[in-house]
Amino acid sequence: MQIPTDMLAIEIIDSILRPTTRPTPQPTGYQVLIKTLAAGVNRPDIMQRTGLYPPPPRCF
């Protein structure tokens, strides 16, 4: 399988998620490259960002 030279990535700038293009990492040695078809952000994460849902207390 041919590995593409560029990939879609999500970067965080000023707490805003933005799509960007980055070079695809090239695995070496015993590393593997995993193709991700989908990713998401869940509702509590969105509510925390808007201040409507407090983050959980630290466990440590």
Q: Is 17 part of any domain? A: yes
Residue 58 belongs to some domain of the structure: no
As a whole number of angstroms, the distance between CA 22 and CA 35 comes to: 14
- Total number of domains constituting the chain: 1
Q: Is residue 29 part of a domain?
A: yes
Question: Is the residue at 54 inside a domain?
Answer: no
User: Is 39 among the domain residues?
Assistant: yes
Domain of 18? 6-49
* CA angle (17, 37, 14) in 5-degree steps: 5
- What residues form DSSP beta bridges with 7? 22
In a domain, 40, yes or no: yes
Q: How confident is the model over 33-51, as pLDDT tens digits?
A: 999 999 888 888 888 888 8
pTM of the predicted structure, to 2 decimals: 0.62
**What pLDDT is recorded for position 55?**
79
